[in-house]
Structure 1
């Protein structure tokens, strides 16, 4: 699912983030507008510091949509669901293992910590939504719920406007 990062993609991600991307490995998902909205990062930053967030939601509109869900209490609600729904909890644990297997295939970090709070907590909907976009629906049930609640963040077109040769939008 991931694809190599072109210089154009790197430029778009830098404009989305408002800074140069760190440890960028691949474009893990593209928004329907064609721009990257999730990138895959290396398990370690360029200086060797562990960086457990394998998938990073870069689109500011998608990020804002995930933030709205977090502020509306979705994490607390879905955390409660994990405690009372054994099937959901088992699927979330499988998502955690799939995430770790993908990351560990690149580099094993000193801890087994992961992004998003998996497998026991719902901690970061940005990371969980990014995982669902990168891995595809059906892998991470909480990430899928986040995507369902985020709406169509792409409906107004690309979030990162092209720049002219001097770098101004």
Structure 2
């Protein structure tokens, strides 16, 4: 079995104030509970951030990896609209190896999140380990963890195309 290639690069570096500004422009709002840049787009900007297991006010936040690039997010939305989630959900029911790898991705996700702080829920993102619910979250996990960790996330990343091809999505703000 070949492992798909992942565009850009995994980094897991603490987020800088400048990168926080980029992420805010990408999201159209200030980011919440961001710990680190987990993956950089081939253009060099963050496209996945790692968040804390709790928001600043203590509210549980089970989404460890958050896809921030609006172009990558739009590409994931296009995949969702074509029925890929239903297709891949069906694959989980008929392919025992895929289901086992997806469950292992869920366990790896929980272990990473729990290392930062345990939550009262064992929920992860994207519907893991039994459902395919959000390709944005699964692609974010696949990009942050690297190829071969999350098989459904890897499929999503492969199906999203070259979202970075037009260059950086968040242009610097012009200062007066």
TM-score scaled by structure 1?
0.97
What's 1:68 paired with?
Answer: 78
Q: How does 1:57-96 map to 2 (within 5 A)?
A: 57-96=67-106
Q: CA offsets, 1:118-154, max 9 Å, x none?
A: 0000000000000000000000000000001000000
Which segments of 5 or more consecutive residues in structure 2 lack a partner in the other structure? 1-10
Which segments of 5 or more consecutive residues in structure 1 lack a partner in the other structure? none
CA distance in 2, matches of 1:165, 1:9: 17
Instruction: Give the aligned CA root-mean-square deviation in angstroms.
Output: 0.6
State the 4+ residue runs in structure 1 displaced beyond 2 angstroms. Answer: none
TM-score scaled by structure 2?
0.93
Q: CA offsets, 1:26-65, max 9 Å, x none?
A: 0000000000000000000000000000000000000000
**2:12 matches 1:2:** yes
Secondary structure of 2:116 counterpart: coil
Q: How does 1:24-103 map to 2 (within 5 A)?
A: 24-103=34-113
**2:126 matches 1:131:** no
What's 2:120 paired with?
Answer: 110
CA distance in 1, matches of 2:105, 2:39: 17
Give the paired residue count: 166
What's 1:18 paired with?
Answer: 28
